[in-house]
Structure 1
């Protein structure tokens, strides 16, 4: 009789462990999904920030171009424009290389 009770308690504990395992696995799945969603949100926010920084940068260039800039601002503006044009040229060259390759 004692052995049967012991076996029954072991089975009950085993069932509780299996139940807890399923709960933990479900929680783990939910947490992984949440992490994926937060990573996607973070990536979208980083893209939005980059786009806004680009717009801000271009608006500063445009403001300098339209305003009465001092000699120092004018030189900085010219350097900025030159750098931007060089970036565009490099990007165009890469695209041409991809098209030819």
Structure 2
């Protein structure tokens, strides 16, 4: 009789554990789905940010060619960046000319 009660308690605990396991697995699946959704949203937002940064860069370049001032706090850094790019282009052009003359 005692053995049967013990076995019955073990079976009840086993059933409870199985229920909890199913609940945890369902929750895990739900969380994985939510994670995938969030990662996709993050990827999309990063794409939007990159596009906006490119547009901002183009606007700065356009503003500098039109003689208007770019955003004040980034003014000096922008000028240095543009000078560096222009110098790189000039060096590349000089290399191309040297190759053509050779």
TM superposition score normalised by structure 1: 0.68
C-alpha deviation, 1:56, in angstroms: 0.3
Counterpart in 1 of 2:31?
31
Which 5+ residue runs of structure 1 have no aligned equivalent?
Answer: 86-101
Higher relative contact order (CA 8 A, sep 6+): 1
Say if 1:15 and 1:68 are closer, same or farther in 2 by CA, change over 3 A. closer
Q: Superposition RMSD on alpha carbons, in Å?
A: 2.8
Distance 1:15 1:5, change over 3 A: same
Count of residue pairs brought into register by the alignment: 82
**In structure 2, distance between residues paired with 1:23 and 1:10:** 20
Distance of 1:55 and 1:46 partners within structure 2? 14
In structure 2, the residue matched to 1:18 is 18
Return the alpha-carbon distance in structure 2 between the equivalents of residues 65 and 76 of structure 1. Answer: 15
Residues 48-96 of structure 1, C-alpha deviation per residue, up to 9 Å, x if partnerless?
0000000000000001111267xx9xx869747758x8xxxxxxxxxxx
